Amino acid sequence: MSEGSLGENCKRPRFVPDRPFPHYAYVPGRFPHPKRSPKGHSFGVLPGRVGPLDPNRWDECRPYLYGLDLFNYGYYWEAHEVWEVLWHGCGREGLAADFIKGLIKLAAAGVKAREGKPEGMKRHALRARGLFEGTILRLGPEYPRYMGLSLSQLINFATEVSNLREVARGKPERPVEVVFRFVLRPVR
């Protein structure tokens, strides 16, 4: 396995351990919509506002880190939502916004995998790869990491997902399921 991947017996890291996970990971058609349904895990919870993200201080940005936690533990829709707030905080354009959008697309690929929709998974993964490749082009080869994550690994992960022939959909009754073998593990 590549660096950043996780073997079966390894423990997944937590970057914001004091913030609990929801009791299920949303998959359209399987669970109540988190925000619209009174049974949803985030019903009535207003999204927080986040100011501009400082990419040099990513390790102090709890929403960014919590998004990594959510993604790594199979909460793909929830990670998407957390990172979308950051994307809006970045003004939805620019280097940091495009990088965050790549993470959002990778999380959307996870949702499509859980839904059993391989074409949607592939489309989102390819878009994520393009955004990560764009980040490398803008930064230059002297910056192999951005916001703690290896850009080449992110590209490899997105490529791996886009090349999956079968979707690891899992069991519909499971409230949370990790469908990707890799782990997003930032390094300072």
Among 68, 15, 61, which Cα is nearest to 184's? 68
pLDDT of residue 19: 95
- List CB contacts of 144: < 8 A, sequence separation 6 or more: 150, 151, 152
Q: Quick one: CATH architecture of 62-162?
A: Orthogonal Bundle (1.10)
Residue 48 has phi, psi (to 5 degrees) of: -75, 160
Taking only the tens of pLDDT, the chain with its 188 residues reads 233 433 444 579 999 999 999 999 999 988 888 888 988 898 888 777 777 789 999 999 999 999 999 999 999 999 999 999 999 999 999 999 999 999 999 999 999 999 989 999 999 999 999 999 999 999 998 899 999 999 999 999 999 999 987 766 666 678 999 999 899 999 98
| pTM of the predicted structure, to 2 decimals | 0.91
* Residue 53 · residue 96 · CB < 8 Å: yes
pLDDT at 188: 87
Handedness of CA 113, 182, 82, 162 (dihedral sign): negative
The DSSP call for residue 182 is B
Other beta carbons less than 10 A from residue 86's beta carbon = 23
Task: Write phi, then psi, for 151 (nearest 5 degrees).
Answer: -65, -40
The whole-angstrom separation of Cα 186 and Cα 92 is 22
Domain regions of the chain by residue span:
62-162
